Amino acid sequence: MKRKQFFAAALAAMMALSMTACGSKAEDSSAAGDGGLTEWEESSQILNEEETDEELYEKAKEEGTVTLYSISSRCTKIAEAFNEKYPGVECVPFDISTNELLEKVTREYDAGQHVADVVHVKDEDGSLYAEYVSEGIFYNYRPADIMEHIPDQFKETQTPLYIEMTQLFYNGEAYPDEAPISNIWQITEEEWKGRILMQNPLDNVSWGAWLTGFCIGDTPDQLAEAYKEQYGEEIVLSDGCENAGYEFLKRLHDNEPIYTSSSDEVAEAVGTKGQKNPPIGFCASSKVRKNADNDWCLVPVNLYPTNGVANVNTLYVVEGCEHPYAAKLLTRFMMGGIDGDTSGYDPFNTLGGWPVRDDIEPAEGSTPFEEINYSTVDKMEMYESVNTVRDFWTLLS
């Protein structure tokens, strides 16, 4: 599941376009310079991958401020650390949910109000690449000295920050010796009927993308092989299931999972001590760090052959932003910099999350990410398939 996925020629062409002209919106803008760059691209030097922190800081001080829209409450810690390291450039953070963030930044952008400079969000279903990056609204700023420490599969369509997963968890007190499940097909067995907790995949983008990841790329073939290994026979697909991914979703649905409103509810129901026959449940990998505070015994399962797609937190610079040099400086800072000072990255490097960089160690107690089974998928295939898979799940009801 960790093999690098190579993108189709069409996607490669789209990426080349996004990295030079960044889509139709940029093409429609007035160009300047010999390279055919837009006026803002040239003035911001957004495509310059070689600027140093020192060079950016000098120009950022002339701008004086930088505004961050983030899906994480940890953005306030980032801002405090940035303001301490770079006096004279004030980082103003806004902690906003994904839907609100995209609505706000889009509304402001369409109105010509360039409030946000940097956006921290997750492109789980490929829509940010297809609708924002390719259209020249968001830019992937790619500092070469940092990006060289990031594997290709995480930076093809995005500027990656850190990784989280949707993982299956069990109660470690009830199962002290080993996980009750190892092969993902086991959750479709009768023993777990009505005892699997998860959020409704139709309620948010993240869960819709998680479903879709099982049905595209190499994952269906991996699932078919895992089924054969578990049961000693080839999988037989039900009517309407075009591959083993869809078959897995059908059998999961048929096993009557219980929907909750949040990952926290799943974590509490699964991890609370004193249960004789606790459920298992899918929730955000980050919930494991709440064990100590809540006296939970929540333990993740590294499912074979895959836990699903990796959720990569990403950073974008907004086209036309008023503080582009400060935006680039903040992006470098949040990515961990290059001078050994990782204070801009440390708040994100916690148990249940993993660095994308090969030169930053994960939090103590973390399973090395290279040991985690996950699916790497083509972002455009995800984008083009997510509604089909969601419709499939809907029709199962």
CA dihedral over 377, 380, 381, 382, signed as positive or negative: positive
pLDDT over 70, % of the chain:
91
Half-sphere exposure (Cβ direction) of 361: Cα atoms closer than 13 Å: 4
CA gap 94, 326 in Å, rounded: 16
Write the pLDDT tens digit of every residue in 219-275. Answer: 999 999 999 999 999 999 999 999 999 999 999 999 999 999 999 999 999 999 999
Contact 85, 343 (CB under 8 A): yes
Instruction: Kindly tell me if the per-residue pLDDT of 115 is higher than 60.
Output: yes
Q: Which residues contact 348 (CB under 8 A, 6 or more apart)?
A: 72, 74, 161, 162, 313, 334
Q: What Cα–Cα distance (Å) separates residue 276 from each residue in 48, 204, 271, 272, 315? A: 59, 32, 12, 11, 44
Element (H, E) at 78: helix 75-85
DSSP conformation class of 133: I
How would residue 215 be classed by pLDDT, with cut points 50, 70 and 90?
very high
Q: Which amino acid is at 365?
A: G
Query: Looking at residue 397, what is its pLDDT?
Result: 79
Instruction: Kindly tell me if the per-residue pLDDT of 183 is higher than 50.
Output: yes
DSSP conformation class of 67: E
Write the pLDDT tens digit of every residue in 149-163. Answer: 999 999 999 999 999
Instruction: Kindly tell me if the per-residue pLDDT of 12 is higher than 90.
Output: no
**What DSSP string describes 295-322?**
TB-EEEE--BS---B-EEEEEEEETT-S
Write the pLDDT tens digit of every residue in 368-394. Answer: 999 999 999 999 999 999 999 999 999
